[in-house]
Amino acid sequence: MSDMHDMAAPYVLGALSNDELDAYRRHLDDCQVCQDEVTRLGQGLVALTMSDGEAPSEHLRAQILASIEPEAPPAISLESRRSTLRYALVAVAAAVALIFATLTVIDRNPAEEILAAPDSVSVNLTVTDSYTGPSPTVARVVFSASEEAAAVELVGLVDPSAETIYQLWLIDSGGAVSAGTFRPDGEGTAIVRLEGAPVSGDVVGITEEPSGGSRSPTGDVLFQAGI
């Protein structure tokens, strides 16, 4: 086709037919003039769409990031195939990344990982009147949609009495389900991953229960927060 060079504008807008698109892409690979034109005109489309932008809800962000779990890492970039050396390095890096990903899964997401997740959302735990000690300096639930997990972090928590233990609960309209038990360390700090799979909308509660934990809460709720 003789007039390939004026296809850049329709190409940038996505307005070529499939046949033309294939032909123009092949042409682009060898035509620096068209590559520059596409870069330049593409900036016009991006400027338009950015200026008309409207932020979607935070909830959507969490949902999307959660649905790109590492089980399906994309293939190696076509770009890197250009250099055999780079290709080899990337392949090694991908293999290493896969091993780490596998190890992480076996490791069952330690609580710190949830705290450090890029999409983690932190909600402060409310201290109820039933908690008699001085208020902790930190009391929060951290939820990561991508890890599908939550952790509590408490600093300055008083020790439960010798026969009792703190117990975590996930509460929804169906009732309370235990999410594990814990004691703070010697300095009153507890960073604990919740058992089970919390979902947005659940309430996290903490009670004091007899050592060994209870099937359903028997003590008063001491801390609580909605995810």
Partner 1 sequence: MSLERFMIQRALTIETCRAITASGERSVRSALHFEENPLSSAERAPRRGPPDLDREMRAIARGDRAAFARLYDSLSPAVYGVARRVVRSAAHAEEVTQEVFLEVWRKAAEWQSTRGSAANWVMLIARARATDRVRSEQAGRDRQQKVAPGWVEPAGDTVDEGVTLAEEHDEIRSALASLTDKQRIVIELAYYEGKTYLEVAESLGLPLGTVKTRMRDALIRLRESYGVPG
Rounded to a whole number of angstroms, the minimum distance from the CB of residue 56 to partner 1 is 4
79 binds partner 1 (CB under 8 A): yes
- Adjacent-strand bridge partners of 138: 155
Query: Which DSSP letter does residue 106 get?
Result: H
- Residue span 41-70 as binding mask against partner 1, x where in contact by CB under 8 A, dash where not: xxxxxxxxxxxxxxxxx--xx-xxx-xx-x
Angle in degrees, 0-180, between the axes of helices 18-30 and 32-51, rounded to the nearest 10: 120
Closer Cβ to partner 1, 65 or 123, answer by number: 65
Q: Which stretch binds partner 1 (CB under 8 A): 74-82, 103-111, 126-134, 180-188?
A: 74-82
Q: Which two tokens stand for residue 168?
A: 């975590």
Q: Which two tokens stand for residue 223?
A: 């801390």
Rounded to a whole number of angstroms, the minimum distance from the CB of residue 163 to partner 1 is 45
Q: Which stretch binds partner 1 (CB under 8 A): 10-18, 122-130, 150-158, 211-219?
A: 10-18
Say if residues 39 and 53 touch (Cβ distance below 8 Å).
no
Residues near partner 1 (CB under 8 A), total: 60
Other C-beta atoms lying within 10 Å of the C-beta of residue 154? 22
Q: Residue 203 and residue 146: Cα distance in Å, rounded?
A: 19
177 binds partner 1 (CB under 8 A): no
Q: Which one among 22, 33, 40, 158 touches partner 1, defined by CB under 8 A?
A: 40
Give the contacts of 84 (CB within 8 A, at least 6 positions apart): none
Q: Residue 203 and residue 172: Cα distance in Å, rounded?
A: 6
Q: Which two tokens stand for residue 21?
A: 């698109």
Rounded to a whole number of angstroms, the minimum distance from the CB of residue 28 to partner 1 is 5
The residues that touch partner 1, with contacts defined as CB under 8 A, are: 6-17, 25, 28-29, 35, 38-57, 60-61, 63-65, 67-68, 70, 72-80, 90, 93-94, 97, 118-119, 146
